[in-house]
Structure 1
Amino acid sequence: MFNELFNWLAMIELPVFAALFRMIAKQRREMEEYLLESQNHTDGRVDLCKEALADFKLHVARNYVSTNYLKDVENRLTNHLLRIEKKLDDVGRGK
């Protein structure tokens, strides 16, 4: 009986467990390689997105309205509205 159990362990179970251990170790190694590759790919994409965002910000800063221009338009609009208000006040007083 002990001999049969020992033979069963030696012939079947030990090789099966060794094969399972090798499969698990191989899967773990492959998964670590895949994760590292995915992380490198993702890092590269993040860098590309950062560069694209920086380029877009620069494009907006160069091609859209400047602060000085906005102040000039605001001053002209304010002056025009003040003239309209003065005319309405004059009409309201009966001049």
Structure 2
Amino acid sequence: MRCLPDLRREVPHRYRVAFERHRSSGSGSLEAHSPLTALSGGRAFERLVTTVAALDAANPPLDATVLWVALHGYASLASGVPAFPWPDRQDMLTTLMNRAVPGTQL
């Protein structure tokens, strides 16, 4: 997980292809839900939930979702707004993990 922001910064085109989603006009409703296994990256997210559960998280699906959103948000913002006075990268990632998955201390 810690390499995600680095990937976004070092190879932005590959990151966009792998992680960013763009809806086409025929892609269905925003409210429609699909099983994780039917979604691109669904298996990877299931692994994240399993990993978070192994950390004794109170609500692994919720905590994994918060972590996923936080890491992708940080990766996108850090590369998109490089002039912002970002905290130390390692401190930022450690804090995101510790706050997204309560009870963990990295």
Q: TM-score, normalised by structure 1?
A: 0.25
| Structure with the largest fraction of helix | 1
Larger radius of gyration: 1
Q: TM-score, normalised by structure 2?
A: 0.23
